[in-house]
Amino acid sequence: MDGLTRVGKTTTKAAFLATSILWIMLASEEFIFDSVLILLIPISFLILLTISFFAILITIRTIYEYEAGRLIKKHIFKKYFPYYSIIIFSLLMFNIIYNNFDFYAIVFSTTTFLTSVQSWVWFYKIP
């Protein structure tokens, strides 16, 4: 499977995961669901699909293309994933602290971290 096919499949999974996490967390915080909000779920999916695509293309695929000729997927994952997860976690924790532990900052950061980490696993999963 080439890199672009892998990006497409990973992006779709990531968008479904991000949408699920986002709406579950919003529903847990006394968030009132009505017919208008139900209509926002597909719109949020499309937005998250676009964001996931560019995030995976810029971060994960770039590392994959850089190391593809020298290392196998398993070694690329083991070499770069720990650094990626530490950096993304630090940036998202800074976001939460900077926003004074605002609920929406926590929802955004949690969704972003879980989705990006799982995207690495999906992208580098050996078929």
Residue-level pLDDT, tens digit, the chain, 127 residues: 566 788 888 888 999 899 999 888 887 776 666 667 778 888 889 988 898 899 888 888 888 888 888 888 889 899 999 999 999 999 999 999 999 999 989 999 999 999 999 999 998 885 5
Domain span including residue 63: 3-124
- pTM, two decimals, is 0.84
Domain total of the chain: 1
Residues 84 and 108 sit within 8 Å (Cβ to Cβ): no
Measured in degrees and rounded to the nearest 5, phi and psi for residue 100 equal: 55, 45
CA pair distance 113, 103, nearest whole angstrom? 15
Distance of CA 124 to the CA centre of its chain: 14
Residues 6+ apart with CB under 8 A from 115: 14, 17, 18, 21, 52
